[in-house]
Amino acid sequence: MAIKRVLHYGEESLRKPSKEVHKVSKKISDLIRDLFDTMYAQNGVGLAAPQIGVNLRVFVVDASTKENPMDPMVFINPKIIKKSGAVKSTEGCLSFPEAYSDVVRYKDIMVKATNEHGKTFVMEAKDGTLLARCIQHENDHLDGILFIDHCLNRFETEEILKKNNLPSIDTDRLLDEEDLKSQL
Ligand code: ZN
C-alpha cells in the first residue's frame, strides 16, 4: 500500500483517544497494510494507527528476532484482560526519533483482540519479552498515552527530549504507578 509519515511527539493525533473499529472493512485492511509498510520502512517493532494520524483502535507488531522468529500480528480493539509482575526496560518510539527512556511495564499480560480476518483471539505474552512490552506500548497509543508518561526518571527524560528537539514532558500526563514500581 503506502509508507505514511509517522507523526512526532507534539502532534495532536498522538494524544487523542482512538475509536473502536466495528468492521474489518477494506478501509481497515488498507490501514493495516499501511501500518506494516510504514513500520518496516522505519525498522520498528510496532506501530499504532494514531501514529500515522488515524485515530482508530488498531496496531501491528512484529517482535520477531533471529533467536525467536514470530509471525507479524494485528490487534484490533485490543483489551489487556490480565496483567501482573513488573519489569524495567529502555523504550523508544517511532514518534520520538532518537529519544529513549527507562519505563516500567507489566511482566506478564493476557490480551484479547480481533485479528485482520475479523476473528477474536486471546493471547499471553510473558516474562517481560519484547512482545509483552510492545503490546503494552502500542495499546497505550490507542488511549493517547505515550511511553514518556511512564518514565522512571522525569528529569533525565526531560533532558533527552530537549536534546532531540522534542516538546517537554506534559507533567499532567505522568502516570502514578507506585504499585507497579514497588514490584521492581
Ligand atoms: Zn510508540
What cell was used for 146?
A: 505515550
Residue 5, amino acid: R
pLDDT score for 8: 97
Closest by Cα among 32, 132, 14 to 76: 32
Q: What's the 160 CA to ligand 1 centre distance in angstroms?
A: 16
Tell whether domain 12-181 is in CATH 3.90.45.10.
yes
Q: What's the 45 CA to ligand 1 centre distance in angstroms?
A: 9
pLDDT score for 129: 92
Task: Give the residue extent of every domain in the chain.
Answer: 12-181
| Residue segments in the chain with a per-residue pLDDT below the cut of 70 | none
pLDDT score for 28: 98
Residues 6+ apart with CB under 8 A from 110: 80, 81, 82, 83, 122, 123, 124
User: Does pTM top 0.75 for this prediction?
Assistant: yes
Q: What's the 67 CA to ligand 1 centre distance in angstroms?
A: 24
pLDDT score for 76: 98
So which residues are the catalytic ones? 138
For 164, what's the count of Cα atoms within 13 Å in the CB-facing half-sphere?
23
Q: What's the 36 CA to ligand 1 centre distance in angstroms?
A: 14
